[in-house]
Amino acid sequence: MFVLVEMTDTVRIPPWQFERKLNESIAEELNKKLANKVVYNVGLCICLYDITKLEDSYIFPGDGASHTKVHFRYVVFHPFLDEILIGQIKSCSQDGVHVSIGFFDDIVIPPESLQQPAKFDEAEQVWVWEYETEEGAHDLYMDIGEEIRFRVVDETFVDTSPTGPSSAEASTSNATEEVQKKEAPYTLVVTMCINFYSLVSVVVYSVSEIAPLSQGTDCFKLTMKQSQNERSGKGEKQSFSCGCSVF
Amino acid sequence: MEVKDANAALLSNFEVYQLLTDLKQQRKESGKTKQSSGQQNLNTIMYETLKYISKTPCRYQSPEIVREFLVAMKDHKLTKAEKLQLLNHRPVTAVEIQLMVEESEERLTEEQIESLLQTVTTILPGDPEEQHRDSAMATEDKAATDVV
């Protein structure tokens, strides 16, 4: 989930901070500049790991502050492809389920990546997994606050640095153009659809029992029985714990 | 600002947890001498990340446990990313192993998956409350069968 990124930067220390230890001032400045910010094509910066090298500090004419080139390592949130993560459902909309992991919210599950068949319930504004068994269809709702496991499929970085002055027409209609579209600088596209395809056969699962996961919650543990496995020739019992509520 | 290496090293959740708790300790000790205006971002991200990581199994890990785990994982022939995922998530079922290990059906036999699960659950400590509850339930069941 987290990676170490080596970076270099020139840090400016103003004169009134000269009495403090240089390392502390530099660490504070770097954290002030990078913590909780997304760096393009790198990820969400968390905090400073360490300072590897400090070059000489220079004072330039006209500016009383010292400028120091620093080589440092920063802890960055950047999950790799196909990594499994656990998060909570924040909201559901037509374009998918939005998941959050507390410090990072721009995670979206597009409708195609939900367990099929899935439909969007307009009344409750939630996505529903319609699970068919011999007994009938079980509707598993994706409720807000439920914990789910997902796999990272794709990531998108958007350069949100300010653009220059726009053309003449835009400047005339300034009242309506005030609110610019805020794009998330870093988005993760994830999936909940895990395909259990082996080389030879399609593995079919059927629900053999539904048991409460823990007392007092709406979460149920579905025990799936593998009905056919042509390669090994025997059924296996495996269980999923999905963060679903069964009504 | 220049990025020299965007992927210098992978960090486990435990390492980040240690780093953040140490940083929090340092900031608490140094007192309120820092201007809070610029530090708000750092405070927010530290709080949220710590809150998230504290809910994962890495809370109960230590450097010795991680080292022991990696030594035990040597013979299973897994990639770095797979070992990292096992360390961060502590899977207890075969399904979870299949999700984290690529092509596990071809690379690992059932016995290997079982032994992998055994290694993970014995070396990596889980939630002590859950373990007490599981062992309590196990003794209850045993008592019930004894009575019968």
**Interchain contact A205–B (C-beta under 8 A):** no
Q: Are A7 and B2 an interchain contact pair (Cβ–Cβ within 8 Å)?
A: yes
- Which of A206-210, A226-230, B40-44 comes out lowest in average pLDDT? A226-230
One-letter amino acid identity for A35? A
Q: Are B38 and A32 an interchain contact pair (Cβ–Cβ within 8 Å)?
A: yes
**Interchain contact A61–B (C-beta under 8 A):** no
Q: Are A198 and B105 an interchain contact pair (Cβ–Cβ within 8 Å)?
A: yes
Query: Tell me, what DSSP letter sits at residue B60?
Result: G
Task: State how far the Cα of A134 lies from the Cα of A116, in Å rounded to an integer.
Answer: 17
Half-sphere exposure for A223 (CA within 13 Å, toward CB): 9
Burial of B46 (0-12, 13-18, 19+ CB in 10 A): buried
In chain B, CATH 1.20.1250.40 sits at 60-126
Let me know: does B22 contact A49? Beta carbons within 8 Å. Answer: no
- The pLDDT of residue A168 is 52
**With b meaning 16 or more CB within 10 Å and e meaning fewer, what string describes A163-194?**
eeeeeeeeeeeeeeeeeeeeeebbbbbbbbee
**Interchain contact B86–A (C-beta under 8 A):** no
Q: Are B95 and A1 an interchain contact pair (Cβ–Cβ within 8 Å)?
A: no
Q: What percent of chain A has pLDDT over 90?
A: 40
- Any residues with CB less than 8 A from the CB of A156 and at least 6 apart, and which? A186, A187, A189
ipTM: 0.85
- Which of A16-20, A45-49, B47-51, B137-141 comes out lowest in average pLDDT? B137-141
Model pLDDT for residues B57-97, shown as the tens digit of each residue: 888 888 999 999 989 888 888 888 889 998 898 888 888 88
Banded pLDDT at B122 (limits 50, 70, 90): confident
pLDDT (average), residues A150-168: 84
Per the prediction, chain A carries an average pLDDT of: 76
C-alpha A112: how far from chain center:
18
**Interchain contact A202–B (C-beta under 8 A):** no
The CA-atom distances, in angstroms, between A100 and each of A88, A96, A187, B20, B89 are 5, 13, 11, 20, 17
- Which of A49-53, A211-215, B16-20 comes out lowest in average pLDDT? A211-215
Q: Is the pLDDT of residue A5 over 90?
A: yes
User: Between A and B, how many residue pairs show a Cβ–Cβ distance under 8 A?
Assistant: 112
Q: Are A102 and B49 an interchain contact pair (Cβ–Cβ within 8 Å)?
A: yes
Q: Hunting for tokens 């609110």 — which residue is that?
A: A179
- The pLDDT of residue B20 is 93
> Which of A9, A32, A42 is the mutation pick for testing B, counting most B CBs within 10 A?
A32
pLDDT (average), residues A84-99: 88
Task: Please give the domain boundaries of chain A with CATH numbers for all domains.
Answer: 2-77 (3.30.1490.120), 83-159+183-206 (2.40.50.140)
Model pLDDT for residues A62-78, shown as the tens digit of each residue: 999 999 999 999 999 99
Banded pLDDT at B101 (limits 50, 70, 90): confident
**Interchain contact B52–A (C-beta under 8 A):** yes
Strand partners, A119: A128
Q: Hunting for tokens 């435990």 — which residue is that?
A: B14
Distance from CA of A126 to the nearest CA of B (A): 24
Range 30-49 of A in CB contact (< 8 A) with B: 31-32, 35-37, 39, 41-42, 46-47, 49
Question: Which chain A residues contact residue B16 at CB under 8 A?
Answer: 2, 46, 75
- The pLDDT of residue A2 is 94
Q: What percent of chain A has pLDDT over 70?
A: 69
Banded pLDDT at A49 (limits 50, 70, 90): very high
Question: Which chain B residues contact residue A73 at CB under 8 A?
Answer: 8
Distance from CA of B82 to the nearest CA of A (A): 9
What tokens were used for A12?
């400016």
Hey, how many other C-beta atoms are within 10 angstroms of the C-beta on B78?
Answer: 20
**Interchain contact B88–A (C-beta under 8 A):** yes
Banded pLDDT at B128 (limits 50, 70, 90): confident
Q: In this structure, which topology does domain B60-126 adopt according to CATH?
A: Growth Hormone; Chain: A; (1.20.1250)
pLDDT (average), residues B20-46: 83
Let me know: does A50 contact A119? Beta carbons within 8 Å. Answer: no
Q: Is the pLDDT of residue A91 over 90?
A: no
- The pLDDT of residue A229 is 37
